[in-house]
Amino acid sequence: MWSESHLHEPAALRAVATPHAATPATKDPAMRDFLKIERLSKAYTPSKPVFADVSFGIDKGEFVCVIGHSGCGKTTILNVLAGLDSATSGNVFMDGREIGGPSLERGVVFQGHALMPWLTVRKNVAFAVESRWPDWGQAQVNEHVEKYVAMVGLSHAIDKKPSQLSGGMKQRVGIARAFAIAPKMLLLDEPFGALDALTRGTIQDELMAIVRQTQQTVFMITHDVDEAILLADRILLMSNGSDTPQGYVPGGIAEVVVNPLPRERTRASLHHLDGYYELRNRIVDFLVTRAHAH
């Protein structure tokens, strides 16, 4: 069981007071707020920002998931963190430096897989690996690429082009490519959305193992509540912007839920753990009744 205070944490208060029960890395103050997002807002229409005043931090080695309905701005935030889009106002810092553009320090898995259609699986992954380590020889690049392609179960398709792959296979190439460059931070936009349940489970396990081994810091968008509970140390619940009788209310981080379950949890054990159903109900309840202001 967990205390109520873990469950309702206004984003602005997140700074230092949060108990990070599930995140061993955060015991070290140097690991805190590796990624720092300050008062971010994005407006395509000035009077109706998609979201406003979004502030949160991610510690080194922490796994943070974002859950929210379609259109609340999850991908927009991820793109700003990736340096691919700019916010209307606010700032983002990684490792003390402001993010001003894309970098190989951040590995991104896009909601659409974003592969180069004219290149094979091998060459799509190799392109990223060669950019990351330009002085590597061909044999070293190949060995590295083959390891990550095998990790996502695609060795048999390594010399195929994206047009010859299913949606889930293409998504797995995107995952291999992001992991293969050993980034300081992984930004994952619904990376398992197009996968069948079995593959999804296998890759979730791989992701967990890699993240634990490498103390990888991860920001991941998912629509799957159980996936968030399995993987995340903290779950950000995002609300949609809505018209209310009092006027338009922009979307934002409505709640930050600290995952109280032991970090060694597995898919098979999840629903047997104390606190699992309470946690799950709280997230589902948010999505059903509180994700839109009214």
Ligand X SMILES: Nc1ncnc2c1ncn2[C@@H]1O[C@H](COP(=O)(O)OP(=O)(O)OP(=O)(O)O)[C@@H](O)[C@H]1O
For residue 216, the minimal CB distance to ligand X (Å) is 22
Residue 280, burial from CB neighbour count under 10 angstroms (0-12, 13-18, 19+) = middle
Query: Any contact of residue 259 with Mg ion (CB under 5 A)?
Result: no
Query: Any contact of residue 250 with ligand X (CB under 6 A)?
Result: no
Query: Any contact of residue 74 with ligand X (CB under 6 A)?
Result: yes
Query: Any contact of residue 75 with ligand X (CB under 6 A)?
Result: yes
Q: Which stretch binds Mg ion (CB under 5 A): 108-116, 223-231, 242-250, 267-275?
A: 108-116
For residue 284, the minimal CB distance to ligand X (Å) is 16
> Residue 167 binds what, of ligand X, Mg ion, none (CB under 5 to 8 Å, by partner type)?
none
Q: Which of 50, 64, 194, 218 binds ligand X (CB under 6 A)?
A: 50
> Residue 262 binds what, of Mg ion, ligand X, none (CB under 5 to 8 Å, by partner type)?
none
Q: Which of 75, 204, 222, 239 binds Mg ion (CB under 5 A)?
A: 75
Q: Which long-range contacts (CB under 8 A, 24 or more apart) does 15-20 make?
A: 15/57, 18/256, 18/258, 19/258, 20/59, 20/62, 20/233, 20/258
Q: How far apart are CA 167 and CA 112, in angstroms?
A: 9
Q: How far apart are CA 86 and CA 53, in angstroms?
A: 15
Query: Any contact of residue 240 with Mg ion (CB under 5 A)?
Result: no
Q: Indicate the residue among 57 and 73 with the shorter CB distance to ligand X.
A: 73
DSSP 123-183: HHHHHHHHHH-TT--HHHHHHHHHHHHHHTT-GGGTTS-GGGS-HHHHHHHHHHHHHHT--
Residue 233's nearest CA partner among 72, 74, 18 is 18
Q: Which stretch binds ligand X (CB under 6 A): 64-72, 148-156, 164-172, 278-286?
A: 64-72
Interface residues toward Mg ion, by CB under 5 A = 75, 111
Interface residues toward ligand X, by CB under 6 A = 44, 50, 68, 70-76, 111
